[in-house]
Structure 1
C-alpha cells in the first residue's frame, strides 16, 4: 500500500510539473507546433535515463525508485498527448508538422534517454 501511495504522490507532482512546464513553453514560444509536449517528453526521457544510470550506483528502496520512475516521470511525460496532438495536426492539414513531431519526439526521446543514462552512470 505504501508503494501505491508513493507512486500516486510522484504522479501528482509529475502531472503538475508537466502542466507548468508545457504551459510556460507554449506561452514563451506561442507556436502552433506542440513544442510544449515535445520539450516535456524529451526532458523526461533524459531525466529517466539520468536517474536510472545514477541509481545503479546507489542502494534505493524499490518504493522510492517506483515513485520517481513510474509516478513522477511517468506522469511528467505523456504519450497520449503526443498522439492526440499529432492527430490534430493531421486533421488541420499540417502533415509535415505531424511528421516532424513524430520524428523529433522519437529521435529526441531515444537520444536524450541514452545521454541521460551515460551521464547518470558517470556522476
Structure 2
C-alpha cells in the first residue's frame, strides 16, 4: 500500500465520514426497497433505480469536486465512498440475477443484466454532462 493510501485509511475522521455516509446510503436504499418491494420473477425495480440514480449522482459529484469546487477533503469520502457506496449495490444486483435465473425468468434476468450495465454507464455520463451544463464548467484536457 502506498504511503498516500495509508495516510487516508489511517485518518479516523475519514473513516467516520465514510461510515456515516455509508449508513445513510444504506438507509436510503432500504427505503427504496420498501417503496418498490421486489416481486418474485419480476424486474427488480428498486435495485435498478438505486443503481442508476447512484451512478448519475456519482457523475455529478465527480464533476463538482474535480472541475468546479475546491472540495473539502471529507466531501469525496462522505458522498462518493460512503453515501453513494452504501446506496448503490452490486451484490444485490448479482444476487437478483441469480434468483431470476433460478426461478426460470431467464429473459428478465438477461434484460436486467444488460439494462443495468447500459443504464448505469449512461447515467454517469448524463450526470457529468448535466453538472457541466448547470455549472458552466468546461472539461479540462491535457
Question: Into which bin does the TM-score normalised by the smaller protein fall?
Answer: over 0.9
Larger fraction in helix: 1
Aligned to 2:64: 54
Pick from 43, 46, 50: which aligns with 1:40? 50
- Equivalenced residue count is 122
Gaps of 5+ in 1: none
1:59-102 CA-to-partner distances (Å, cap 9, x unmatched) read 11222211100000001000000000000000001110000010
- Structure with the bigger RCO (C-alpha within 8 Å, sep 6+) is 1
Query: How far 1:33 sits from its partner (Å)?
Result: 1.7
Pick from 74, 85, 88: which aligns with 1:77? 88
State yes or no: 1:119 paired with 2:130.
yes
Distance 1:22 1:47 in 2: 19
Distance 2:89 2:35 in 1: 17
TM-score by length of 1: 0.92
Pick from 108, 112, 116: which aligns with 1:97? 108
Gaps of 5+ in 2: 1-11, 135-142
Q: What is the CA RMSD across the aligned residues, in angstroms?
A: 1.7
**Following superposition, which runs of at least 4 residues in structure 1 exceed 6 angstroms of deviation?**
none
